[in-house]
Structure 1
Amino acid sequence: MEEGPSRTAMMAAAARAAHLIVDREPYLFQDTAAEALLGTRAAELLSYHRTSGDHPVLSGTRAQVTARSRYTEERLSAGFTQYVILGAGLDTFAYRSPLAKAIAVYEVDHPATQRWKQELLTAAELDSSAVEFVGVDFEDDNLASRLITHGFDPNQQALVSWLGVSMYLTESAIATTLDSLGRFARGTELIMEYALPSGLRDEAGRVYAEFALEASAQQGEPWLSFFTPEQVTELLERHGFAVAEHISQRQAVDSALWQREDALHPADLCRLVWATVRG
């Protein structure tokens, strides 16, 4: 990863913030800290959603990031005391959710991204004292060792989220990370987002991909990995997980929330998988 801000992280945060501005109630998810965290870039990034919010990429991104965040954070209510956010980017859970007071939060990302985020947090006057920032170079560092150094207890169950990341990695890099996660305590849960191959996308997913994949590649963040649900299941099982469920964007939130009169609609481009460490 290059030194400096991640455009992908900024776009995801802007989409979460824009959902509360552009879309109508009922909201899929309420990220009340994203706009503040974006700081001086907020006005520019949100202006795209304000002026062209019905564009397939913009509305599709809002649907994607809000649905996956809601599903993941609802899993935290199962009583976890440790939450590991892989590729945390500009995630804001620790700075807005009441659940963060009772959960040890470990944000894992490239050191350059974390330095940038900490500067944004300071500028936004958002308290980060309860967060452990675990800088990891996934090519060279051992994930488990780095987490333990920062206070993570590998003998206690945790929820691990890995959202909006796997599509930017090679299968080899994904497998290396899963190998570390599969050694965590029995019952540890993983919620991972993955991209579908073209043949499994629905029409909305096809249109989104037509715009988004080319744009990501041009910005230096190409999508590298695509999986069928069967391939993800096999990959996870090979690394010590039992797969509980594959979740489409439509299934990630209550069906009533998709009964809408705005531009927000589910697309089958990416899915979530919910899996548990067998131990």
Structure 2
Amino acid sequence: MSGEPDSTAVRTALWRALHTLVDDAPHVLEDRIGLEIAGVDQGWQTRPDMDPMRTRPNRASIVARARAVEDTLIASGACQYVVLGAGLDTFPQRHKGPVRVFEVDEPATQAWKRDRLVQLGLLDPERLHLVPVDFEAGESWLAKAVEAGLDTAEPAVVSMLGVTMYLTQEAISTSLRQAASLAAGSIMVFSYSRPIEMAPPEVRPILEGAAKGAAASGHPWLSLLTPDQATNMARDTGFTGVDVITSTDLHERYFAERHDGLSPVGGEDLVIATVGRHRVGSG
């Protein structure tokens, strides 16, 4: 099999599946397909990073951000969806319809995922375009997506979830600027993590442990942003309408009626940014 999956992408897929297995219904997101793609052994739930209680804030944040971006896409009516840092995302397998999906990720992960989807009979080449991009070599995700068939004359929704903390602020701005060059009406949704000291006290030890684990695995956190920094980056790169959806907002939207204590508060916030009538250059 070609390449290999990124460990953080696999963990995210497993947390999404774990939500359906251990948390009360109704589930914020129904996704066990990522678990199937990951192809992990049957004892995966015994992994330390799958502890049902300790990882509750993590998986709540993961499913909340995914649900929010998919709700945004469906409400927009856009027929093009670009997923930056796609990992084991499963939108095209779970949602049938006219939306063409361009999943952007590093070449090794994309090669591995393509093989898995073919093996499982889950690859629909008419709707799903796997776009390998070597960001370290300076390749443009937008240029590669256009090569794969993205129509820049039509609106698109672009998501970048769980990515910004691993990028420099310059790299974040570059990705945002490319999205801001898309057709008017396009929407960019990206998540960001606040500085740990801004999190609720009960969540800080979890974040500190996650930061140490990320550094130890070779994926250190490079950019933790305040809401003002995140929104300013979106405006400075060319977006006109910019809104922040905080983790508290996500709780009120998707978790307020729950009685099991599951909550994303203290996790990632979202920025939803819209391209106005006048586009900027992709730079």
Give the TM-score normalised by structure 1.
0.91
SS of the residue 1:230 aligns to: helix
Q: 1:180 aligns with which of 170, 178, 181?
A: 178
SS of structure 2 residue aligned to 1:246: strand
Please identify, of 80-89 and 263-272, the stretch whose mean Cα deviation from structure 2 is larger. 263-272
Structure with more of its chain in helix, by fraction: 1
Q: 1:112 to 1:244 in 2, by over 3 A?
A: same
Q: Which residue of 2 aligns with 1:166?
A: 164
Distance across 2 between alignment mates of 1:162 and 1:273: 10
2:23 is matched with: 23
CA displacement at 1:26 relative to structure 2: 1.7
Q: 1:246 to 1:51 in 2, by over 3 A?
A: closer
Which structure 2 residue ranges, 5 or more long, are not aligned? none
Pair 1:76 & 2:69 matched: no
Change in Cα spacing, 1:49 to 1:243, as seen in structure 2 (3 Å) is: farther
Distance apart, 1:259 and its partner CA: 3.8
State how 1:163-242 maps to structure 2 within 5 Å. 163-242=161-240
Cα–Cα, structure 1 residues 145 and 241, in superposed 2: closer, same or farther, change >3 Å? Answer: same
Give the corresponding residue for 1:7: 7
Q: Distance in 1 between matches of 2:91 and 2:175?
A: 22
1:106 — aligned with what?
102
Q: Residues 61 and 4 (structure 1 numbering): CA distance in 2 closer, same or farther, change over 3 Å?
A: same
Amino acid at match of 1:93: F
The structure-2 alpha-carbon separation of the partners of 1:275 and 1:118, relative to structure 1 and needing over 3 Å to count, comes to same
Aligned mates of 1:221, 1:44 — CA distance in 2: 25
The Cα offsets for residues 69-121 of structure 1, whole Å up to 9 and x where unpaired, read as 111101122201100000100001111112xx211110011111101111222
**By how many angstroms is 1:250 displaced?**
3.1
Structure 2 contact 231–242 (Cα < 8 Å) conserved: no
CA contact 1:206–1:269 (8 Å) conserved in 2: no
Contact 1:87 1:108 in 2 (8 A): yes
Q: Deviation at 1:185?
A: 0.9
Q: 8 Å contact 1:216–1:223 — kept in the other structure?
A: yes
Distance (whole Å) between structure 2 residues aligned to residue 51 and residue 72 of structure 1: 24
Determine the C-alpha separation between the residues in 2 that align with 1:256 and 1:194: 19
CA RMSD, 1 decimal: 2.0
Per-residue deviation at 1:43? 2.5
SS for the counterpart of 2:123 is: coil
Q: Deviations over 1:2-40 (max 9, x none)?
A: x6321100000000011110111121111131221121x
1:123-138 matches, within 5 Å, as 123-129=119-125, 130-138=127-135
TM-score by length of 2: 0.89
Counterpart of 2:271 in structure 1 is 273
Listed as ranges, the gaps of 5+ residues in structure 1 are none
Deviation at 1:272, TM superposition (A): 0.6
In 2: Cα distance, 1:102 partner to 1:47 partner? 39
Deviates more, 1:65-74 or 1:266-275: 266-275
- Structure-2 change in CA distance of 1:272 and 1:124 (3 Å): same
Aligned-partner Cα distance in 1 for 2:205–2:73: 33
CA gap 1:50/1:165 in 2 versus in 1, 3 angstroms: closer
In 1: Cα distance, 2:48 partner to 2:22 partner? 7
